[in-house]
Amino acid sequence: MTGKVGVIDYGGGNLQNVLNVLKYLKHDGSLVSKPEDLETIDRLIFPGVGSFGDCVEVLDQKKLREPIADWVRSDRPFFGICLGYQVLFEQSVESPGVKGLGVFEGEVVRFPDDMGLKVPHMGWNEVIPCDHGHPVWSELPTPLHLYFVHSYFPKPADEKIISSTTSYGIEFASSIAKGNAFAGQFHPERSQQAGLRLIQNFLEQS
């Protein structure tokens, strides 16, 4: 069982949702707004709603870019949600010229416009774990259904880190995992019991 959980304050609107989930799961959550806040926590959650460029700009203003990247690289427990998944990569077509955290190699791309599907991809969809040994998937079915709201998604250069896939016109990497770091394009805080189980698994992994 974990101690204190930090939630990165990037100025987005779903921070309180994540804090409410932590409270529901009987865990102590606090906002991380400056580098010093990382010294008082054991696990880090990076939720995200908004644009790639705006999010990275806020991280730079708060001097959180390198501390967050160092946290993930040092294999400390990390859970990235939606935009908090995307910014781990090098760049995004959504914000040309803006550098992501670059923890993982790869680019964030947009769903093609010629698929005849609505973009953003919004609603429930199947998530198929391909990394069943990772503790975050413990006691969850294959496939499971989680909630999505996004127009962009990462294309990891290293396919070995892909932890699940989802199909929406094309198949994409709906999550990645490496060591104690896990990040997904879905919103577990909006995914009812399956999402709660995902977060609980993250909080309980050793």
Catalytic residue numbers? 82, 187, 189
Q: Which amino acid is at 20?
A: N
3-class SS of residue 126 = strand
Length of the chain: 206
In sequence order, the 6+-apart residues with CB closer than 8 A to the CB of 141 are none
Classified as helix, coil or strand, 196 is helix
Q: Burial letters for 64-78: b for 16+ Cβ neighbours within 10 Å, e otherwise?
A: bbebbbebbbeebbb
* C-alpha span between 181 and 149 (Å, rounded): 22
Report CA Rg, the chain: 16
Record the tokens describing residue 165, joined without a space. 């896939």
